[in-house]
A and B are shown apart, each in its own frame.
Chain A
Amino acid sequence: MRLGKKIILTTGSVIVVMGIVTVGLIQTIVSGALGQQLDDKGLATARVLADDLANPLLDGDGLVVQRNLLRFVQEGPSVVYAYAVTPDQRQVIHSFDSGFPVPLLDATRLPDGQSSQVRLLLTEQGRIRDYGVRVLEGLDAEVHLGLTEDRITASRRNVMWLIVGLTASGVAIAVVLAWILGRYVARPLEYLTATAEEIGEGRLDREIPITSKDEVGDLGDSFNRMLVRLREAMERERRRNRELMALNAVTRAVSLGEDLSALLTHALTDVVDALGLEGAWVMLTPDGEDQPGHLAAVAGVDTALAKQCTCTVGVPCSCWTALQNGARSGDSDIGDHCKVAPLLGSNGQVVGPIPLVARARTLGFMNVVVAASVYLSPQDHDMLNGIGRQLGVALERSRLWLQLSDREERVSQLLQQVIDAQEEERRRIARELHDETSQSMAALTVGLKVAASLTHKDPDRAAVLLEGLKEATSLTLRELHNIVYDLRPTLLDDRGLVPALHWCASRRLGDQSVAVDVTAGGRAVRLPPQVETTLFRIGQEAINNVAKHSHARTLRIHLQVEAKRVHLSVVDDGHGFAAAADNSDRGEKRSFGLVGMAERAALLGGTFQINSVPGEGTRIDVIIPLEGGDDPDSHSAG
């Protein structure tokens, strides 16, 4: 049921009920009041009559009494009858025409000791009130008056009809007023309800006009405030949703494990879709360089248009400049400076730069294109910066992943090279044992057999032969010694790194007329065994490279031992080579050697750096950090 009808029905019902109750109550009150008034009047009249009749009754003047009674009945319009009981109770003097009805006496006689009484009688003439009083106190004489209730009934009826009329009028007026009130109250509420339903259907742009300052107005105002908060909450939710969608897109793109460009393109496309952007592009800086780089990914924007960004050609644009100054999305308007912005015309505006940051390092930036009519709030810029950070992390992860993959590949190649080197070493040892030591041993064996056969036949020749075998044995021992020394020179353990490197260079380069200069500087201490071994093997590899590839005339090896690091440099004046461009088979083998040197240095936390220019020789620098380098118990450098 509608509110207006409820108000009308409720008001009407209340008034009807109250009218009925009022009629009943007023009827009761009026009846009571009229009855009381009639009783008072009746008793007073009866007393007056009793006073008038006292002397005639006491005198025994029955006729006087009767005349007075008849006169009283005739003159009183409400008086139905009157009668008196004589003091001796022997006679009833009355006003009845056809004799006194004895039952009336039984019904109305005063009890002993009671001076007056009112009795309500229901007779064929209607309701009658009998008022009985004693003529004089102490006497049995009584006077009774019978007054009809017609006047009370008529008054009560008149009052009832008056109240019924008033109630009916009140109901009619109340219904009209309730209708007006219902309209007055219900109309704003109906409008409020309709608006609430529209809002419930999603039309949050609706607003309730406040037309009054009453409770309905307050309700509308509260509703509007609730609506504003709802819009704000939904906007926050939408923004958060977009942000989550964008971040989810970035995360999904990252998880695809694609290469960097594909990753960025994929992620950028998802971000553009999620945020409803017109487009976006990403500029990346070169690894390890703090300068504009290249266009890494484009989404929603013509690639040719994005390439107008001068950063793509290594020239810092306004975006890069702003980024270098610590700007973030929303800090400044780059549209006036970005060369892409004018090209968009009225189709959009450039927003950025959005830095791609990871581990406090700016890896690049992202610019987005939004519609010209779109205003980005600070929260939007925060969201873009958040996405930039996420992209930066993803980018960093991707780069690290690539580096890791590359490194794993190199380690794998290195392992293969080690295995090959081992096999090569084994083959070399076997070949040397077979070609030299075995042959020598076989020759010794043959010589010893000959010497044994000549011992008895030709002792002198046997002695000469044995002398020759003795020298051959010495030679064989020297060969064996060389083989063992090549595996690991005892010189390294006995005298230290510098003598070992000097021995290795002299032995390897001695027959190539290469002047070797091995020097040491800094602290004269023995290095930890693993450091000496690592540096010896790196130096040995470098010496081998010089021997094999450089055609150098001089080789300078210098070991500089400091408190917290040791620096080994190997410099030759050979042909040199172009490290990045040498893809030949020989260069590949040398590259593996270089990788092995770098890996050895990396195992001890050190760095390996090679600089070589064709025709200008090669320089290798290895730096190994020392732990407890100040330990006074360390061995001497030898």
Chain B
Amino acid sequence: MRTLRLVFLCIMVIAIAGCQATPLRVSLSSANQAELPSPASVEPGVYYFGFDRRLDPAEDVRMYVPFLKYLERTTKFHFKLRPVPRTGSVVDELGKGTVQFAAIGTLSYLTAHKQFGVEALVAARNAEGGATYRALFVTRPDSGIRSLNDLRGRSLALGAPTSTQGNLIPRVMLQQGGVSLSDLGAFQNHSSHFETANAVLSGRFDAGALQDTLGRELARQGLVRIVAESAPFPSSTISVAPGVPGAVVEAVRAALLTFDPTARDKPKLYHWDQSEMPLGFTQVDLQALERVQQLAEQVGLLK
């Protein structure tokens, strides 16, 4: 009888108690300020990586996170991604030291180099192995625009003001083609190449200036037609802020030069082919950068 009672009690306890987790007691009424208690701007032993906004911000983050993991695996240093708000600037972050490494376009590099002494580690490698890329003018396939001259009186979508392919090179091309911004019916800078492309595809703008890789892909799909193509310009760089230990710099440089996004490292990357360095990296052509610096200064994008 005692055994039966014990069994019954056990069954009751099991049945009633079940297997529930213990809750954590928290008061929601203890209101405090929303600001976090002064977090450190940088964590020790962590190198922050910034980038020029190119596509959708979230897509940019998804693309760069696997890239940083590659760097961590290769260099054994710890990296964190630090996206810059739309109102912020990677160049400023590099200057403040909150970002140590950054994937930035030529114009941003020239600005950061000039203002904060940022140095280019490697440049984006093109199909020929060089460190150049191009910019394209594209329209919708049914557009009557056939050349840069046809842009007169039409609306043009440009990239971010700091974008080399979306702003610097197109501005240089327009200048060299004898078309000033005032000749255009309208123009507007967009935060990324994606937004520029969307502006054209949606019909809001008659033409747009895009990075060559994205423009060619859209043309291949029949979504746009290429109107003009620029001469080769120094491609985007991975730059490093001053003050980063040389061993870290050299380790990162070596890792970047051995980065193989088209074959070996491709499976672990996320749409890296839509980045400005789809084929990996090569040595920086400093002379070419100096030439571009002059052009930028000529069009007023670099002071």
Chain A contact residues, CB within 8 Å of chain B? 17, 20-21, 23-25, 27-28, 31-32, 51, 54-55, 58-61, 80-81, 85, 87-94, 96, 98-105, 107, 119-125, 127-128, 136-140
Closest A residue to B31 using CB positions: A99
Known contacts: A89-B39, A91-B35. The answer to whether A123 contacts B28 by CB under 8 A is: yes
For window 22-36 of B, CB contacts with A under 8 Å fall at 22-36
Which residues of B approach A to under 8 Å, CB–CB? 8, 11-12, 14-37, 39, 41, 56-58, 60-62, 64-65, 68-69, 80-83, 85-88
Q: What is the count of residue pairs linking A and B with beta-carbon distances less than 8 angstroms?
A: 142
A123 near B26 (CB under 8 angstroms)? yes
Kindly list chain B residues whose C-beta atoms are within 8 Å of the C-beta of A93. Answer: 34
Beta-carbon nearest neighbor of A105 in chain B:
B36
Contact of A60 among B17, B19, B21, B85 (CB under 8 A): B85
Bound-complex Cα distance A90 to B81 (A): 15
In the bound complex, residues from chain B placing their C-beta under 8 Å from that of A127 are 23
Q: Given A119-B24, A136-B61, A136-B65, does the pair A101, B29 have CB atoms closer than 8 Å?
A: yes
- Closest residue on chain A to residue B15 by CB atoms: A24
* B80 in contact with A99 (CB, 8 Å): no
The 9 closest A-B pairs by CB, nearest first: A24-B15, A60-B85, A138-B65, A99-B31, A28-B18, A58-B57, A122-B23, A54-B58, A59-B86
Q: Is the CB of A54 within 8 A of B39?
A: no
Contact A120 B21 (CB under 8 A): yes
Contact among A60, A88, A98, A120 with B23 in the assembled complex (CB-CB below 8 Å):
A120
**8 Å CB contact of A99 from B12, B21, B34, B88:** B34
What is the bound-complex CA distance between A123 and B28, given in angstroms?
A: 7
Question: For residue A102, which residue of chain B has the nearest CB?
Answer: B32
Contact check, B80 vs A101: say whether CB atoms are below 8 A apart: no
Q: Which residues of A contact B22 (CB under 8 A)?
A: 120
Main secondary structure of the interface of A (DSSP, over half): mixed
Indicate whether A25 sits within 8 Å of B15 (C-beta atoms), given known contacts A120-B23, A122-B24. Answer: yes
CA distance A604 to B3 in the complex (A): 95
Known: A24-B15, A119-B24, A138-B68. A58 touches B35 (CB 8 A): no
In the assembled complex, the Cα of A24 lies from the Cα of B8 at a distance in Å of 13
Minimum CB–CB distance from B67 to chain A (whole Å) comes to 10
A residues less than 8 Å from B30 (CB atoms): 101-103
Which of chain B's residues have a CB closer than 8 A to the CB of A101? 26-32
Residues on the A chain within 8 Å of B65, using CB: 136-139
B58 touches A61 (CB 8 A): no
Beyond A102-B33, A140-B80, list 6 extra A-B contacts (CB 8 Å).
Answer: A17-B8, A28-B19, A90-B35, A102-B37, A120-B23, A120-B24
User: Which residues of the partner chain A approach B27 to less than 8 Å between Cβ atoms?
Assistant: 101, 103, 123-124
Cβ B80 vs Cβ A24 within 8 A: no
Q: Which of A25, A55, A92, A98 contacts B58 (CB 8 A)?
A: A55
Nearest CB in chain B: distance from A151 CB, A? 16
- Give the nearest-CB partner of A125 in chain B: B28
Chain A: CB-nearest residue to B11: A21
Collect the chain B residues with CB atoms within 8 Å of residue A107's CB. 24, 26
Bound: A120/B21 CA distance, A: 8
Measured between beta carbons, the chain A residues less than 8 angstroms from B69 are: 138
Q: Given A54-B61, A120-B21, A94–B31 Cβ distance below 8 Å?
A: no
Contacts of A103 in B (CB 8 A): 26-27, 30
Name which of A93, A94, A103 has the most chain B CB atoms within 10 A of its CB. A103
Q: Could you tell me the distance between the alpha carbons of A140 and B65 in the complex, rounded to whole angstroms?
A: 12
Contact A31 B20 (CB under 8 A): yes
Inter-subunit contact B26/A24 (CB<8 Å): no
Cβ of B208 to closest chain A Cβ, rounded Å: 21
Give bound CA distance, A417 to B42, whole Å. 162
Contact across chains for B57 and A55 when beta carbons are under 8 A apart = yes
Q: Among B33, B41, B61, which residue has its beta carbon within 8 angstroms of that of A139? A: B61
27 cross-chain CB contacts under 8 A: A27-B18, A28-B18, A28-B19, A28-B20, A31-B18, A59-B57, A60-B86, A61-B86, A80-B28, A89-B36, A91-B35, A92-B35, A96-B31, A102-B30, A102-B32, A103-B27, A103-B30, A104-B28, A107-B26, A121-B25, A122-B23, A124-B29, A137-B65, A138-B65, A138-B80, A139-B81, A140-B80
Instruction: Note all chain B residues with C-beta closer than 8 A to A27.
Output: 15, 18
Q: What CA separation (Å) do A91 and B32 show in the bound complex?
A: 13
> Of A55, A120, A124, A137, which one neighbours B28 at CB under 8 angstroms?
A124
Taking CB atoms, residues of chain A closer than 8 Å to B26 are: 101, 103-104, 107, 121-123
| Assembled-state Cα–Cα distance A32/B25 (Å) | 20
Query: What residues on B are CB-neighbors of A96 within 8 Å?
Result: 28, 31
Q: Could you say which of B28, B30, B37, B62 has the most chain A C-beta atoms within 10 Å of its C-beta? A: B28
- Shortest Cβ distance from B262 into chain A, in angstroms? 22
Q: Which of the listed residues A28, A59, A105 has the most CB atoms from chain B within 10 Å of its own CB? A: A59
- How far is B61's CA from A58's CA once the two chains are assembled, in angstroms? 9
